[in-house]
Amino acid sequence: MLYTFGKIVEEEEGAGAVWLTYIVCALGASIASFFFDQGAVSLGASGAVFGLFAVAVLLKLKFSFQKLVEGLVLGQFVVKQVLQEVKSAQAGGLAIAGAKVGHVAHLGGALMGVLLILALSRLPEVSPKKKLP
Q: Tell me which residues are annotated as active site.
A: 46, 106
Phi, psi of 50 (to 5 degrees): -60, -35
71 close to 57: Cβ distance less than 8 angstroms:
yes
Helix (H, G, I), strand (E, B) or coil at 96: strand
Query: Residue 96's beta-bridge partner residues?
Result: 99
- Cβ count within 10 A of residue 133: 3
Phi, psi of 68 (to 5 degrees): -65, -45
Strands 95-96 and 99-100: antiparallel
41 close to 32: Cβ distance less than 8 angstroms:
no
